[in-house]
Structure formats: structure tokens, C-alpha cells
């Protein structure tokens, strides 16, 4: 009897274990089912998110294409800058290193002010009867220009050495090598001191020298610029320290053999645009030369492509007479038109807060100031609106014979 009971108990235990095993298997399958269900749904969500991201990426990519410029920029050395290029050129009678900046960072003191610092060596007869070394220091607030320049110093006041940029003008100096330069400029008599760190935010661009589009060849002249720099530093003025930062520009120009008398001056602009484009404009007004000018417009939509014009029309819409030399005027508003192939550039440029530097005996004036620019660039059915800002420089020379109308201008 006991043996029968034990056998039944054993079979009962085996049945319970089987049921438990089946329940465990059922729950395992149930758990796997839920896991797979949620995994598949999550995958669909992820794929949906990926599709959304791809669509957003395509929307970003599908912007108007870069204008049909030239990809020869790097290949032809138009963006190549070597140490000797930045160094002084001993045989050049004229040479200058130029820097400007807009203090437009949100955290900058002196918000929306701007500044020019330029170290200049001029040829013997460029500024007749005047000494030839000058340091331009000009600070522009939102209403006017403040000049701290040191002009007409004896030859030798300005010292330039290599390698790279190593400039000294009395107690002011610049030192550096692409992509970074440090500038200290001062006018202690006016209690003004500035220290700025320029760091390139763009490849350099050659106007003339390596692959010139101007009549003056690279053997006798050179001109390169860095369209955009990041700038930060401080200005100390009458004992008050201002921390400043913003967008800057740098160029370096030298020339040896072109005589002064063939030039009536030049018009020049560097422009930064809200869409990231950079534009350089120069127009040398010549005497006795066919078409009376040599010009260059370089549009840089990015660090590789370039669009260039050598023929264009720059029309003065508004002008103002010089305070120190009323017979001489300078532009306050100009209109630019340039056409090449199927490309068209149109800009209205308004100049404000112009700083005047006039050498009366030399009958020469230099007019520099910030500007705004609005217009468009179109090609092959595309059109890009342009809205930007920058700096202008107009140099005017009034020759005596021209004033008396003995010779045709």
C-alpha cells in the first residue's frame, strides 16, 4: 500500500514539474514577444527620425549653388602665403601692412565701433615735400571718427624686418605670421593704447603677385589680403580699459616702379556679408591709360571658389567736399555694376563717419571710413541677396595742371 502511494506521489510531482516548465516557457515566449514588439516599433521610430534628419540635411544642402567661379585658386597659388611674402620687400619704395576691425561681437565693449591700424612706407614723391613714414590709427564710433595717427615722420621711423611680420613704429609694433598677428599701437600724447590679436578665419587671397589680374606684374608689386579674421583685445583710452572683439581684415601691399604722376588715386573696399561671402574691390584711377583705370573685384563665397571681374562701373551717387581742401571731394554713396558671361553683380555702398587725412602741399587726400553694402549677385537663373558691411578708402590727387584744365583728366 505504501509503495503504491509513493508511486502516485512521484507521478504527481513529475506532473507539477511539467506544468511549471510549460508555464516558464510560456512566460519566456511572452517576454520575448513584448521585447520584439517594442524593438520593432522603436526601430520604426528610429528609421522615421533618420528619415527626418535626412530630409532636414537635404533642405540645408539644397541652397543656391556657388557661383561659377574658378577652382584654380589653390592650384595656381592664389591662396598660398609664404614667410617671405609677409616679410618686408627691400626693393620696394612703397609698402604697407593694413588691419581693420569691426567690434560687433555681442560681448564686446564699444559695440558697433570700428578701427583701422596701418603701418605705411611711401615713396619719395608720393606725398610731395612731406616726410614719408606714417602710422594710421583711427577709431570710429557710431557718429564720428577719432584719429590718433602719427603722420609724416622721418624715413627710418618705421622699421620692418623679417621673417614674417615684424614691424616697429616708435612704440607701436606688429609681430606675427599667418594665421595670427599681434598688434600694439599707441599715441601716448593722446593717452590712447590698443592691443589686438588677429587670427585668420579665411585663406589668404592674392590680388596681384602670384597670378595677377592687374596690369602691374608680380615682378614689381604684390598685393594679398586675408578677407576675414577673428579679433579680440583691449583698448585703453584716457585710463579706461575696454575689452573688444569682432570681425577683422588684413592686407599687405608693396610696389616699386610705378611713378606717382600716372595715378589720380584709387577707390577701395573690403566687404563682409551676412551669408558668409567676402568681396574685395579696388579701382586705380590712371592718367593717360586707356579706359583710365585698372580694377579688380574678387568675390569669395568660400575658401576655394573665386569669381573675378576686371571691368566694372563704379558711379558716385553722393559726395562731400573735404574740410581741409574744399576743391577736393570724396564719395559718400556709390553704385557698383559688374557683368561677365552670365554673371551680374549690383551693389549700393554707403560710406559714413569718413576720416579725412589731407596733405595740402602735396594736393593729396585720403578718405577712409566704414560702409554698408546692399545688392545682389545673379547667374544662370539664380540670385543671391547681399547685405553686408566693411571699410572704404578713397585716395585723391589733384594735379595743378589738371586743376587749371591744361591737360585733360
Residue 192's domain is classified under what CATH number?
Answer: 2.40.370.10
Q: What is the 3-state secondary structure (H, E, C) of the chain?
A: CHHHHHHHHHHHHHHHHHHHHHHHHHHHHHHHHHHHHHHHHHHHHHHHHHHHHHHHHHHHHCCCCCCCCECHHHHCCCCCCCHHHHCCCCCCCEEEEEEEEEECCCCCCCCCEEEEEEEEECCCCCCCCCCCEEEEEEEECCCCEEECCEEEECCCCEEEECCCEEEEECCEEEEEECCEEEEEEEEHHHCEEEEEEEEECCCCEEEECCCCCCCCCCCCEEEEEEEEEEEEEEEEECCEEEEEEEEEEEEEEEECCCCHHHEEEEEEEEEEECCCCEEEEEEEEECCCHHHEEEEEEEECCCCCEEEECCCEEEEEEEEECCCCCCCEEEEEEEEEEEECCEEEEEEEEECCCEEEEECCCCEEEEEEEEEEEEEEEECCEEEEEEEEEEEEEEEECCHHHHCCCCCC
What is the pTM assigned to this prediction?
0.81
Q: Measured between alpha carbons, how far is 307 from 298 in angstroms, rounded to an integer?
A: 6
Q: Which of 240, 258, 276 is the last residue in one of the domains?
A: 258
Q: Would residue 68 count as lying in a domain?
A: no
Q: Output the pLDDT for position 64.
A: 56
State CA 158 to chain mean position distance. 26
Contact 115, 101 (CB under 8 A): yes
Are both 107 and 34 inside the same structural domain? no
No. of H helices and E strands in the chain?
4, 23
Q: State residue 144 phi and psi, 5-degree precision.
A: -155, 175
Instruction: Please indicate, yes or no, whether residues 254 and 266 belong to a single structural domain of this protein.
Output: no
How far is 133 from 120, CA to CA, in rounded Å? Answer: 6
* Domain region containing 213: 73-258
Q: Are residues 341 and 301 in the same domain?
A: yes
If asked whether residues 110 and 51 sit together in one domain, one would say no
Residue 400 phi/psi, 5-degree rounding, is -60, -45
In angstroms, the CA 322 to CA 329 distance is 6
CB 184 within 8 A of CB 190: no
In a domain, residue 143? The reply is yes
Q: What is the pLDDT of residue 52?
A: 46
> What residues of the chain score a pLDDT lower than 50?
1-8, 10-11, 13-14, 37-52, 54-61, 212-217, 403-409
**Coil/strand/helix, residue 362:** coil
Give the pLDDT of residue 77.
76
64 lies in some domain: no
Confirm whether 254 is domain-assigned.
Answer: yes
Instruction: Look at residues 237, 238, 234, 197 and name the one whose alpha carbon lies nearest to residue 109.
Output: 234
Residue 66 is assigned to a structural domain of this protein: no
φ/ψ region of 291 (left if φ > 0, alpha if ψ in -120 to 50, else beta) reads left
Burial 213-241 (b: 16+ CB within 10 A, else e): bbebeeeebbbbbbbbbbbbbebebeeee
Burial class of residue 155 in the structure, from the number of CB atoms within 10 Å of its CB (0-12 exposed, 13-18 middle, 19+ buried): exposed
231 and 95 co-located in one domain: yes
Q: Can you tell me the distance from the alpha carbon of 384 to that of 377, in angstroms, rounded to the nearest whole number?
A: 5
Residues 27 and 77 in one domain: no
Does one domain contain both 198 and 317?
no
Please check whether residues 297 and 407 belong to one and the same domain: yes
Domain match, 246 and 322 both:
no
Omega cis (within 30) before 74: no
* Cross-strand partners of 340: 343
Residue 87 lies in a domain: yes
Domain tally, the chain: 3
Distance CA 266, CA 365 (A): 11
Closest CA to 324 of 354, 360, 353, 287: 360
Instruction: For residue 327, tell me if it sits in a domain.
Output: yes
- The domain boundary, picked from 219, 234, 258, lies at 258
Q: Which of 377, 398, 215, 180 is nearest to 298 (CA)?
A: 377
Q: What is the pLDDT of residue 31?
A: 61
CA distance 321 to 302: 38
Nearest to 282 by CA among 118, 200, 394: 394
- Residue 405 has a pLDDT of 45
Co-location of 93 and 232 in the same domain:
yes
Given this model, what pLDDT does residue 355 score? 97
Q: Are residues 265 and 247 in the same domain?
A: no
Residue 398 lies in a domain: yes
Looking at the structure, do residues 102 and 237 belong to the same domain, yes or no? Answer: yes
Judge contact between 187 and 148, C-beta under 8 A.
yes
- Write down the pLDDT at residue 291: 64
Amino acid at each position: 500500500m505504501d509503495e503504491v502511494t509513493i508511486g502516485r506521489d512521484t507521478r504527481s510531482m513529475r506532473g507539477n514539474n511539467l506544468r511549471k516548465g510549460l508555464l516558464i516557457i510560456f512566460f519566456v515566449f511572452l517576454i520575448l514577444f513584448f521585447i520584439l514588439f517594442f524593438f520593432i516599433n522603436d526601430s520604426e521610430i528610429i528609421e522615421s527620425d533618420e528619415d527626418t534628419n535626412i530630409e532636414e540635411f537635404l533642405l540645408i544642402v539644397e541652397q543656391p549653388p556657388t557661383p561659377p567661379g574658378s577652382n584654380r585658386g589653390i592650384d595656381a597659388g592664389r591662396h598660398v602665403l609664404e614667410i617671405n611674402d609677409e616679410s618686408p620687400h627691400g626693393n620696394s619704395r612703397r609698402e604697407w601692412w593694413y588691419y581693420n576691425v569691426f567690434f560687433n561681437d555681442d560681448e564686446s565693449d564699444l559695440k558697433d565701433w570700428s578701427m583701422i591700424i596701418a603701418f605705411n612706407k611711401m615713396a619719395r614723391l608720393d606725398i610731395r615735400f612731406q616726410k614719408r613714414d606714417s602710422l594710421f590709427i583711427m577709431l570710429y564710433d557710431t557718429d564720428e571718427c577719432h584719429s590718433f595717427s602719427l603722420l609724416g615722420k622721418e624715413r627710418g621711423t618705421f622699421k620692418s624686418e623679417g621673417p614674417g611680420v615684424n614691424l616697429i613704429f616708435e612704440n607701436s609694433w606688429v609681430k606675427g605670421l599667418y594665421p595670427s598677428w599681434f598688434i600694439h599701437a599707441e599715441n601716448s600724447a593722446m593717452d590712447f593704447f590698443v592691443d589686438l590679436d588677429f587670427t585668420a578665419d579665411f585663406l589668404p587671397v592674392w590680388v596681384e603677385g602670384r597670378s595677377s589680374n592687374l596690369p602691374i606684374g608680380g615682378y614689381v608689386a604684390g598685393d594679398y589680403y586675408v578677407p576675414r579674421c577673428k579679433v579680440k583685445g583691449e583698448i585703453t583710452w584716457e585710463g579706461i580699459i575696454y575689452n573688444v572683439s569682432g570681425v577683422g581684415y588684413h592686407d599687405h601691399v608693396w610696389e616699386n616702379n610705378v611713378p606717382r604722376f600716372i595715378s589720380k588715386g584709387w577707390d577701395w573696399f573690403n566687404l563682409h556679408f551676412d551669408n558668409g561671402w567676402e568681396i574685395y574691390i579696388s579701382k586705380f584711377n590712371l592718367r593717360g591709360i586707356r579706359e583710365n583705370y585698372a580694377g579688380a573685384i574678387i568675390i569669395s563665397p568660400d575658401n576655394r571658389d573665386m569669381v573675378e571681374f576686371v571691368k566694372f562701373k563704379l558711379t558716385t551717387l553722393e559726395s562731400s567736399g573735404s574740410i581741409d581742401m574744399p576743391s577736393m571731394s570724396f564719395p559718400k554713396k556709390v553704385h557698383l555694376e559688374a557683368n561677365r558671361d552670365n554673371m551680374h553683380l549690383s551693389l549700393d555702398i554707403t560710406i559714413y563717419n569718413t576720416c579725412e587725412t589731407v596733405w595740402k602741399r602735396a594736393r593729396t587726400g585720403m578718405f577712409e571710413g566704414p560702409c554698408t553694402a546692399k545688392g545682389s549677385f545673379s547667374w544662370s537663373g539664380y540670385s543671391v541677396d547681399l547685405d553686408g558691411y566693411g571699410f572704404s578708402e578713397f585716395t585723391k590727387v589733384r594735379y595743378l595742371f589738371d586743376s587749371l584744365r591744361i591737360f585733360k583728366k
